[in-house]
Amino acid sequence: MAKLTFSIGGIHPADSKLARDRKIEVLPLPPKVYVSMFQHLGAQAKPIVAPGDKVKAGQIIAEPGGFISAYVHSPVSGTVKSVAPRKDLAGYNVMHVEIDVEGDEWAEGIDLSPELVTAIPEDREFILDRIKMNGVVGLGGATFPTHVKLNPPPGKKADCLILNGAECEPYLTSDFRILLERTDEIVVGAAVMQKVLGDCPCVIGIEENKPEAIAAVRASVARLAYPGIRVEVLKKRYPQGGEKQLIDAVMHRQVRSGGLPIDVGAVVQNVATSLAVYEAVQKNKPLVTNTLTVTGDCLPVERQHNYLFRIGMPLSYIAEQAGGVPEGAVKMVSGGPMMGKAIANLDAATVKGSSSILYLSDATRRKPEGPCIRCGRCADACPMGLEPFLLRKLYAAGDAVALEKNAVHDCIECGCCLYSCPANIPLLDNIRLAKAQVMGIIRARNAKK
Ligand code: SF4
Ligand code: SF4
């Protein structure tokens, strides 16, 4: 069987899927949750509760703050203690709703039964409304509101829905576990999204290093027998799960610089998003839970975990449940080691898109930086065809015009350049800043049009 992959660049970091055999455990409720109003791409949500209000799990507590935004729901039942700014993961002040947890009573109309609901609603608007009202956002990293992504603008049509089950980042195993443990729900979620996209075909792409997941999903696809869904095996190669890389691998189509997947007829959703779509549409359950991995090279196997968490649980609470910060951890990351963000504040609350607490030891610390030896390895590794050494130079020179000309805005921040550089030059850090600068210029220019 041919294994699909993308055309240019990429690297092969060690797998380090240390928590792959650990079944998903349900975390007990903490005494308090802190629900962020900024859990999605776009405008912050606007809180509609006040201190003293009683809330139930699954109840709306914040409305979208714009077209690109999302509803936010209470993950627990209890009393609103405060609506106030609180530091997020990176240490920025963001509005949060603080809730004292009192039991676990759910709002009316949510189906919490374990029965699989396989009949797909016919009404496209009903599906989109359920996805929107239940606050579903992309769980593959970008947290783009799903009802917007599944509703292409006039004149654009989806030829293929790609479900991303690559989980190509080292260490992370939450997608692998849901592919094994929530298989049917993910496949039904895919069929729901196919319906909303005009019954387009669906490819579920899974990397070759997850043979159990490939077998489980193939069996589920055959059993449920929805038309037009197939599983494809992807080569183990980073960043195989990147949106543009998956489209290249599966459809052999290239998204142009500055373009969107729908421009080439593609819609890409993560497998965790498919599960959230299933729950939202078939069970009317809002997105208030997700799965994350607690892992790292300084944790023994028995302390590696995959947890079902309620959104708003403080990271420090989850770390405690997993036995505390391990000895030897010099860095904590939310997300994978390639694209994740350093945790500056362990008291920060989990959000819809939280995927891990990753503890890294001294062995993973960056080596001292040396001079560029012009080896070109960073350019060879770049899956977007960029020249990272040049972008860095242009950033140092403050040349925003040349940075835009050299498409710094196409950088997907995958870190392949940094990983490949023998001189340990912090290419990604510099390019990220350069990209933010150029994106700001592009946005300002577009706003004037
Ligand atoms: S981080 Fe950006 S520049 Fe570096 S390899 Fe990835 S896409 Fe290319
Ligand atoms: S990989 Fe590092 S040393 Fe080689 S060209 Fe790129 S920046 Fe220079």
CA distance 111 to 315: 28
Domain that holds residue 186: 137-282
Mutate to test the pocket of ligand 2, among 389, 395, 418 (most ligand atoms within 8 A of CB): 389
Does residue 408's CB lie within 6 angstroms of at least one atom of ligand 1?
no
- pLDDT, tens digit, 9 for 90 and up, residues 201-216: 999 999 999 999 999 9
The ligand minimizing its distance to the Cα of 377 is 2
User: Ligand 1, residues 384, 403, 408, 418: which to mutate, most atoms within 8 A of Cβ?
Assistant: 384
Please tell me the distance from the alpha carbon of residue 280 to that of residue 402, in angstroms, as a whole number. Answer: 45
pLDDT (tens digit per residue) in 70-99: 999 999 999 999 999 999 988 899 999 999
Distance 417 CA to ligand 2 centre (A): 8
Same domain membership, residue 275 and residue 150: yes
The verdict on 382 and 262 lying in the same domain is: no
Q: Flag whether 443 is in a domain.
A: yes
Domain boundary among 253, 282, 311: 282
Q: Quick one: average pLDDT of 16-36? A: 97
C-alpha span between 410 and 385 (Å, rounded): 9
CB 242 within 8 A of CB 7: no
pLDDT band, very low/low/confident/very high, at 1 (cuts 50, 70, 90): low
Of 227, 256, 282, the one marking the end of a domain is 282
User: Is 90 exceeded by the pLDDT of residue 264?
Assistant: yes
Length of the chain: 449
User: Could you identify the atom of ligand 1 that is nearest to the CA of residue 420?
Assistant: 5
Q: Whose CA is nearest to atom 7 of ligand 2?
A: 389
pLDDT band at 169 (very low <50, low <70, confident <90, very high): very high
Q: What is the mean pLDDT of residues 19-35?
A: 97
What is the rounded average pLDDT of the residues 409-427? Answer: 95
Q: Are residues 141 and 263 in the same domain?
A: yes
Phi, psi at 365, each rounded to 5°: -65, 145
Total tally of structural domains belonging to the chain? 2
Using a 6 Å cutoff on CB, does residue 413 contact ligand 1?
yes
Residue 176 in any domain: the answer is yes
| Domain termination residue (choose one: 252, 282, 312) | 282
pTM of the predicted model as reported, rounded to 2 decimal places? 0.95
- 389 and 258, same domain (yes or no): no
Residue 257 CB coordination number (10 Å): 10
Q: Rounded to whole angstroms, how far apart are CA atoms 441 and 447?
A: 10
Residue 232: pLDDT over 80: yes
Q: What is the CATH number of the domain that holds 178?
A: 3.40.50.11540
Query: Which pLDDT score is estimated for 246?
Result: 97
Ligand located closest to 406 CA: 1
How many Å separate Cα 434 from the centre of its chain?
23
Please tell me if the CB atom of residue 19 comes closer than 6 angstroms to any atom of ligand 1.
no
pLDDT > 90? residue 364: no
